[in-house]
Structure 1
Amino acid sequence: MSVFDMLFKRKQAPKGTAKGGEAYTAKRPIYSRVGPGQAIATPRRYDKLAREGYQQNVIAYRAINLVAKAVASIPFVVEEDGKRMSEHPLAKLIMRPNPKLRGENFLYNLVGYYMIAGNAYAFAAGPKEGAPKELWLLRPDTMSVVEGTDGLPAGYEQQVMGKKQRFEVPSVLHWKTFNPLSDWYGMAPLEAAATSVDAHNDGSRWNLALIQNGGTPSGVLYQEDVDHPLTEAQFDALKTQVETQYTGALNAGRPLLLEGGLKWQDMGMSPKDMDWSSSKNMSAREIALAFGVPPQMVGVPDSMTYSNYREARQSLWEDTIIPLASDIAAELTAWLAPKFGGAETKLVLELDDIPALADKRARRFDRIANASFLKDEEKREMLGFSTKN
């Protein structure tokens, strides 16, 4: 039996006949099932990803903050029936979601959770029917999806300090990335970059340990062809001397004076032998790419992907920031617009004042303005200006 047949089994039905006389009823795909009303625990890697990938890795920290701050800087405006509504209650809610956070901080934290965990949750507080009064973020590692029928969530469950509370589906926004191994949770970008994050962090720790041990690789002191080996007292005295006078950052570079037939043998590789700098730069590039950030934007040297910083910045906005912000606008529209009773209400991005796109806008303006085959009304319409008198 094929995979298609397993997922979409056909059977005789009392009603309904397809072309050719075959009677059947369509069935929905089968999703991973735990049991109706039972919460499915969030994968318990959020704390490790947050600690190793965000708190202790400068490249991931920089990439996440760069994208999150850029998305939060884009104004979100409300359109209703094609008209901009500056005084719309939805616009006011987005500008000030709750007494604790401004709109920019709300979006910044929302994107931060999304990029670290692959899942971001927001809760709409207010009347059961009608527009919410406040929007609050819920930390991803405290949230679980409650499975319903036909692979659709029946609710969400939050557990904090041993206390549980359940939310209805309409009151919670669950924004997640694509995950090929889960029907319920997104995959964190940090998971794809986990190996590179470990390599980058281990390289930094190795460098720190090397500095703290005198700036030299590990080695061993030994005697060769001697009649009288070191006594225990001599060994202890030599060990104390090496630890106090030849290790540590303050003793870096001091020559090691050997006597009594002692010799030094390196036991590790030098930074040059390990090509340490190139290895760290490669890991940094891979981490940046996992977040859709050009390596130049996070300070990785020798990044030749883009000819200059300006092109890298424009690519970041066009390939990562604007698509991510557009996705947020679409998710918030689908979640909040019905609560405000507007079938034609939607959130859109205001991109006219983005500095990174100024050069591209100027070139487009000049190209349209100099198009002699277009009428003035057509030029104004293409540039987004009203053609009405």
Structure 2
Amino acid sequence: MGIFTGLFKSRDKPSDSTVGSGYRFLMGGTTSGKSVTERSAMQMTAVHSCVRILSEAVASLPLHLYKQTETSKEKAIDHPLYLLLHDEPNPEMTSFVFRETLMTHLLLWGNAYAQIIRNGKGEVIGLYPLMPNRMGVDRDKNGALYYIYTVTTGDAMKGNQVKLHSSEVLHIPGLGFDGLVGYSPIAMAKNAIGMAIACEEYGAKFFANGAAPSGVLEHPGTLKDPVRIRESWQQTFGGSSNSHKVAVLEEGMKYTPISISPEQAQFLETRKFQINEIARIFRVPPHMVGDLEKSSFSNIEQQSLEFVKYTLDPWVLRIEQSMIRSLLTKEEKKKYFIKFNVDGLLRGDYQSRMNGYATGRQNGWMSANDIRELENLDRIPKSEGGDLYLINGNMLPLKDAGAYANKTTKGEEENKNEEVLEVEESNSDKSKDTGGSAGENPVPKWHNR
């Protein structure tokens, strides 16, 4: 243990956590000249859309605590943690709002924190989300992790801090370099988001200036007050409400535009690309943020299934394992586990589901009640065969192929004897008619003549 203690002591503390300004070296200024923070990024429609899609998708999934039995699993409804995760983590919010908040923190700050409230028995009785930008992560002299949270009133920092033990914090880290704290996707992609903000601001100013390119007012002589003329021009023709007005120039003045048009600058193409760039950061299909250019009826369902498999599943698994690690005791981990149900999102269209159910029913691995539960229908009573598993009678194991050809039942043996007796009687009658004995070939009548 001394070796491991020394190892923990020698490791650098996770200084890249989200405490105060320790994270700000990744935020702030960008090459586009626009400052990017978590809050300013959410003013971008593409960022807001991606964060909302992912957070609402995770929050809408059913979350259950299961107990592992000898043969299967069952919902641990009697466990006090079940109600917290499924319905109400604290008296102030529902499970949906709680998980939506944690997922939003993960997408913007790269970390999600929640304070764990326990009773005298050590049971979890409450979960309260904590703001990631007020949380710090550090190690004590023994190498154990602890958390420092800055208490605030509204937006004003009080300055007093609360030290929390690692057992008192549910910490869900995002993608990071040390496995302890995650890095903000917004901070890591700040240049792409900053460029999108710059493009949006350019478009807004373009229309604010009357949707006309800027230029130069040329005068053949010397002006005594050029500032007054510029301001008069801006007041008369500036702004979208003054666009397309007819300008009257006096004293030989001439207007020469010097800016290129938005089409020449590929303004619209740049904005569209930046939307796809932001969707790529969060791994959200473009059609889910309103870009249907490369989507069709034939591939949009497949893109939705890939969204669940490659986008939601990693986030869901990250949350599940963090909850199991922090909320269950060592003994409970042996028989309990926490699981999101994503089956509803993986369901195909009605015809595809019915074909799949028919295959499962005919091959004996689904009963009528199994199918009805997946379709949210009432169960058929067991006495009426709702739990029966059926299989086609003409299907046999390969090793039994041809076995029935060598087996005869008692009834089949009696039928066979009766058939033989009938054949013998038939041959006897034929022998009498032809004058021969049974078993001899009868002589044709024309031969006797």
Q: TM-score, normalized by length of structure 1?
A: 0.79
Q: Which residue of 1 aligns with 2:259?
A: 268
Deviations 1:334-384 (A, max 9, x none): 2112189463111112234x2x42217964763474379x841x3459x79
Amino acid paired to 1:59: A
The whole-number CA distance in structure 2 between the counterparts of 1:196 and 1:28 is 39
> Is 1:163 aligned with 2:160?
yes
Amino acid paired to 1:280: R
Matches within 5 A, 1:1-80: 31-33=11-13, 42-44=22-24, 48-54=36-42, 56-80=43-67
Q: Pick closer, same or farther for the CA change 1:292–1:266 going to 2, 3 Å.
A: same
Measured after TM superposition, the shift of residue 212 of structure 1 is 1.1
The whole-number CA distance in structure 1 between the counterparts of 2:388 and 2:359 is 22
Amino acid paired to 1:231: K
Measured after TM superposition, the shift of residue 74 of structure 1 is 0.5
> Is 1:231 aligned with 2:227?
no
Contact 1:130 1:341 (C-alpha < 8 Å) held by counterparts: no
Contact 2:217 2:254 (C-alpha < 8 Å) held by counterparts: yes
Amino acid paired to 2:58: V
The whole-number CA distance in structure 1 between the counterparts of 2:350 and 2:342 is 10
Measured after TM superposition, the shift of residue 217 of structure 1 is 1.9
- The structure whose RCO (Cα within 8 Å, separation 6+) is larger is 1
The whole-number CA distance in structure 2 between the counterparts of 1:49 and 1:117 is 10
Q: Residue 207 of structure 1: which of 203, 215, 221 is its match? A: 203
The whole-number CA distance in structure 2 between the counterparts of 1:61 and 1:34 is 29
The whole-number CA distance in structure 1 between the counterparts of 2:351 and 2:327 is 35
Q: Pick closer, same or farther for the CA change 1:26–1:125 going to 2, 3 Å.
A: closer
Q: Structure 1 stretch 325-334 or stretch 340-349: which is displaced more?
A: 340-349
Secondary structure in structure 1 of the residue aligned to 2:23: coil
Q: Residue 147 of structure 1: which of 139, 146, 149 is its match? A: 139
Q: Which residue of 2 aligns with 1:314?
A: 305
Measured after TM superposition, the shift of residue 111 of structure 1 is 0.2
Q: Structure 1 stretch 105-114 or stretch 358-367: which is displaced more?
A: 358-367
The whole-number CA distance in structure 1 between the counterparts of 2:297 and 2:188 is 23
Q: Structure 1 stretch 88-97 or stretch 113-122: which is displaced more?
A: 88-97
Secondary structure in structure 2 of the residue aligned to 1:297: helix
Q: Which residue of 1 aligns with 2:170?
A: 173
The whole-number CA distance in structure 2 between the counterparts of 1:46 and 1:25 is 35
For structure 2, the residue ranges without an aligned partner over 5 or more in a row are 29-35, 152-157, 374-385, 390-449
The whole-number CA distance in structure 1 between the counterparts of 2:112 and 2:351 is 36
Q: Which residue of 2 aligns with 1:134?
A: 126
Q: Pick closer, same or farther for the CA change 1:315–1:26 going to 2, 3 Å.
A: same
Give the number of equivalent residue pairs: 350
Q: Which residue of 2 aligns with 1:366?
A: 355
Matches within 5 A, 1:193-342: 193-223=189-219, 226=220, 228-232=221-225, 235=226, 238-300=229-291, 302-303=293-294, 308-338=299-329, 341=332
Measured after TM superposition, the shift of residue 61 of structure 1 is 0.6
Q: Which residue of 1 aligns with 2:92?
A: 100
Q: Which residue of 2 aligns with 1:6?
A: none
Amino acid paired to 2:104: G
The whole-number CA distance in structure 2 between the counterparts of 1:34 and 1:111 is 22
The whole-number CA distance in structure 1 between the counterparts of 2:4 and 2:311 is 42
Q: TM-score, normalized by length of structure 2?
A: 0.69
The whole-number CA distance in structure 2 between the counterparts of 1:166 and 1:222 is 68
